[in-house]
Amino acid sequence: MSSATFDLTCELISRDSVTPEDKGCQQLMADRLAAVGFTNEHMRIEDVDNLWSTHGEGGPLLVFAGHTDVVPTGDLSHWTHPPFEPTVVDGLVYGRGAADMKGSLAAMVVATERFVTDYPKHNGRIGYLITSDEEGDAYHGTVAVIERLMARGEKIDWALVGEPSSTAKVGDTIKNGRRGSMLGYLTIKGKQGHVAYPHLAKNPVHLVAPAIAALSTEVWDHGNDYFPATSFQVSNINSGTGATNVIPGTAELMFSFRFSTEATAESLQERTRKLLDGFDFDYDLRFEVKGQPFLTEQGALVQAAIQAVTDTVGYEPELSTAGGTSDGRFIAPTGAQVLELGPLNKTIHQVDECVSVDDLDKLTEIYYQIMVNLLA
């Protein structure tokens, strides 16, 4: 059962690095990378640990990007095995972060150790951009490191993010883009009153109901060959005083857009306001753009990744832009080609999160072959 990637995965899982904590994971990785000639730079930004590590000189830069933080475990009594004590059962290693994404980090490091040993004078450079703020607010992690790198002229050509992208078999899906993400915070202003005297009040919940229906049925776009149509979803509604006989004075909604490259954050904001202006109520509205959509089309990185997967596991991966956001959204605007490639996402953020031990070794080989294809 033991392999270099499995052993490192277990070491990382055993550290309870609940976001934004790192708990020494990055130092463990940095020590391994330094031993094969990498230069490490630790960037502590606010309460977030970040690692920037590089090897080689000149030429294109391939960066492995990822995060050491994990989501909270929830009620420990629901776990079959303690979440920070890696346990192997039937070829699966269980633990928080096993799939998202300590298994990927381990595979990256082991593949890199092998590559720089086999090709000490490889073309280009290899980099690591690792944060402990991906599962949290993501204000002081990858986005902040990218700002510092850009300020000093660092240019990332290719970025491989180790997010769990696979669906049924390791490597069967590569994410070559992501939809944009934007939150909306809407407050409807009514008039508080007694439920027995509705003519003296103005119920904001009743006022906003038709607007919610209009927003949720609006066709924002039709998507394109790479992205599904933009979606609108209400995620939270809050109103009322807690009393049963009081009409509330305000209603607060939180909603989310996941948008394709057919729309922009600005156009969606404008259309939302225009739609709301058609209803008879006063409102306050603010937006928070969490990430812009990005797409990596056919090019050197896509070709290298597809070839690596095909050579390693014998089937060609599908390119997809489905799913949520990742830190790739902070790297793509620099002009880098960005892909996400990692283990199965079936158990991520769940109780009894796990990853196949065999898949860890396959993923290591895939990462190794990508480096060979690009830099050997």
Instruction: Classify residue 297 by its DSSP letter.
Output: -
The DSSP H or E segment spanning 173 is strand 173-175
What's the CA gap between 194 and 66, in Å, rounded? 54
Beta-strand pair 231-239/250-259: antiparallel
Give the whole-angstrom CA distance, residue 98 versus residue 359: 12
Which residue of the set 21, 22, 49, 69 is catalytic?
A: 69
The answer to whether the beta carbons of residues 22 and 69 sit under 8 Å apart is: yes
- From the list 22, 134, 327, 359, the catalytic residue is 134
**DSSP class per residue in 62-121:** EEEEEE--B-----GGG-SS-TTS-EEETTEEESTTIIIIIHHHHHHHHHHHHHHHH-TT
* C-alpha distance from residue 97 to each of 40, 148, 164, 326 (Å): 24, 28, 10, 15
Q: Is 7 a catalytic residue?
A: no
**Whose CA is closest to 81, among 19, 14, 126, 136?**
14
Structure tokens at 69: 């933080």
218 as an active site residue: the answer is no
CB 191 within 8 A of CB 248: no
Residues 6+ apart with CB under 8 A from 161: 65, 66, 326, 327, 328, 331, 338, 339, 340, 341, 342
Q: Which helix (H) or strand (E) holds 325?
A: none
Just list the catalytic residues: 69, 134
